[in-house]
Structure 1
């Protein structure tokens, strides 16, 4: 709008000039001359039309100037924002420059350390080469000494093994099975047949034995009889208790040795070992019948007993195995109960 005001002033001065010219005409021109007056009025109208056109043009120019001023103001604002952003970027650039300088200093320090390490590695390589030369020069002596030490160690290991075998091995019989429990520390000594005195005899031995399946005979094999004791095989007399398909199945046995233990113990009336003991196996307590005249022994028959091949249902008598039941009275009840079948467990320590 500041530009439009001078334009209006210019037009106003022009109009005054026209009127002055009209007033300064020859006084001889009379007002009564209509032609002249008409001509002058026409010129004034033309000038007024030009003024209006100029005014419209000036108004349009004023609007354009105002719009341009707004655009200039917006550009100034954008320029201010750009300058602010440029200032921030300059600060970031300065900070980055400082970080780069710090990193370059650190890299220089690391390069120095790397050079030092490389020098040390070179020195170590020289030492290794020297030591390798010494080792090569003495390799035969060292090999001889190592061989001697290995032989000494082997002898000591054998002595330790033999000593441990004597002092820590626990041997027990697993009645009713041809094998030993499956673990790394228990080994089968031999498998064979459960045997003992005939249950119908009044004499003979009380204990049962595990007869090997590969006997060797001594020099008195064929001498004449003189009141001998007799060795019979053993039979399961209770098919239900031992899970046998037939009565009178023959009883196997296995002699087992644990290299991790030195003591074995059969505990009647339990299926688990006490704390600190390791189970070898558990099963059912068995012995001869109460009506048998022969002395008898309690043995622990495995919970999953097997039968000897070929034993079948033939009743050959011999050492007969029955269940063992409790009788309250002299036996404390509780903790025991009357007329119950007893279990057993073989424990190692």
Structure 2
């Protein structure tokens, strides 16, 4: 009977009809049953709170892992981007034109001739490939070629030593800086001496000979400066070279054999814009480099 009454109180009177319909519990039993329900609900609340707290903790753990993975992804993307830029190399920027040009092979190098010197300039990343002698076609030969720097240690393939007129001919070059006839601005002590030269490697740089200047433009480094020189105006031309202002003689020679000749170059006003350029003034030159 007591069990039936308890079930009636917990489940409601309708659950166990007709036994529960006519049952009227006393006040003690009613309060006792209500108290049991409150205890049960409190325990249920406690259990539910603990389960929710555990799930929240799991969510925090998962969220922390997701944030870590996202940061790892961003760091990896930045590192990949840096490596790609290093592999591609930056586009070159010319200080002369102030414009971005097409990309150049990273750390490419260039060579130039240091005319009048047996060594290369003492400039960072510039080294000598070889030293030699300036040479070219004879000043009176119309078929002569441009000035070149022949090495001091030549090698031959098959050859004969017959003087054959059916050849292009090569002669050593001499300074034509005689005083007082031509009133040279410099190098008068080198007149009729043979001209040395050296070929220089500018590592990681590109080089440029600028005629008519003694200094480089902004962003460029001076390799050396000197005087513009070329063949006499009535002789067969060979182009122009930049002769070092501190030029030397090749082995002290002064035989005056007059093969390829090198004269100072001076301006003549007219089509040459003056007064920027000066009538009769010997033109300077400078060889410049820029790191790429």
Smaller-chain TM-score bracket: 0.5 to 0.7
Query: Would the alpha carbon gap of residues 295 and 269 (structure 1) be closer, same or farther in structure 2, given more than 3 Å must change?
Result: same
Counterpart Cα distance in 1 of 2:198 and 2:271: 35
| Alignment correspondent of 1:333 | 274
Query: Would the alpha carbon gap of residues 226 and 232 (structure 1) be closer, same or farther in structure 2, given more than 3 Å must change?
Result: closer
TM-score when scaled to structure 2? Answer: 0.58
> Which of residues 204, 208, 211 is equivalent to 2:147?
208
Mapping for residues 162-173 of structure 1, pairs under 5 Å:
167-173=107-113
| Alignment correspondent of 2:126 | 186
Counterpart Cα distance in 1 of 2:266 and 2:130: 31
Cα RMSD for the two superposed structures: 2.1
Counterpart Cα distance in 2 of 1:188 and 1:209: 16
CA drift of 1:185 comes to: 0.8
> Which of residues 233, 237, 253 is equivalent to 1:290?
233
Contact 1:165 1:259 in 2 (8 A): no
| Alignment correspondent of 1:196 | 136
Counterpart Cα distance in 1 of 2:131 and 2:159: 25
Post-superposition Cα deviations, 1:129-160, rounded to whole Å, max 9, x if no partner, equal xxxxxxxxxxxxxxxxxxxxxxxxxxxxxxxx
Aligned to 1:245, what secondary structure does the other structure show? helix
Q: Which has the higher strand share?
A: 2
CA drift of 1:200 comes to: 1.6
| Alignment correspondent of 1:272 | 215
CA drift of 1:227 comes to: 1.8
Confirm or deny that 1:257 pairs with 2:201. yes
| Alignment correspondent of 2:264 | 323
CA drift of 1:260 comes to: 3.1
Mapping for residues 306-317 of structure 1, pairs under 5 Å:
306-312=248-254, 314-317=255-258
CA drift of 1:334 comes to: 2.4
Give the structure with higher Rg (CA).
1
CA drift of 1:246 comes to: 4.9
Gaps of 5+ in 1: 1-163
Q: Which has the higher helix share?
A: 1
| Alignment correspondent of 1:345 | 286
Aligned to 1:322, what secondary structure does the other structure show? strand
TM-score when scaled to structure 1? Answer: 0.49
Gaps of 5+ in 2: 1-103, 179-183
Post-superposition Cα deviations, 1:42-68, rounded to whole Å, max 9, x if no partner, equal xxxxxxxxxxxxxxxxxxxxxxxxxxx
Query: Would the alpha carbon gap of residues 330 and 165 (structure 1) be closer, same or farther in structure 2, given more than 3 Å must change?
Result: closer
Contact 1:175 1:301 in 2 (8 A): yes
Post-superposition Cα deviations, 1:235-257, rounded to whole Å, max 9, x if no partner, equal 01114444242520110000001
> Which of residues 208, 215, 218 is equivalent to 2:157?
218
Number of residue pairs aligned between Structure 1 and Structure 2: 182
| Alignment correspondent of 1:26 | none
> Which of residues 160, 164, 177 is equivalent to 1:238?
177
Structure with bigger RCO (C-alpha 8 Å, 6+ apart): 2
Aligned to 1:265, what secondary structure does the other structure show? strand
**Runs of 4+ that moved beyond 3 A:** 164-167, 220-224, 239-242
Mapping for residues 66-215 of structure 1, pairs under 5 Å:
167-205=107-145, 207-215=146-154
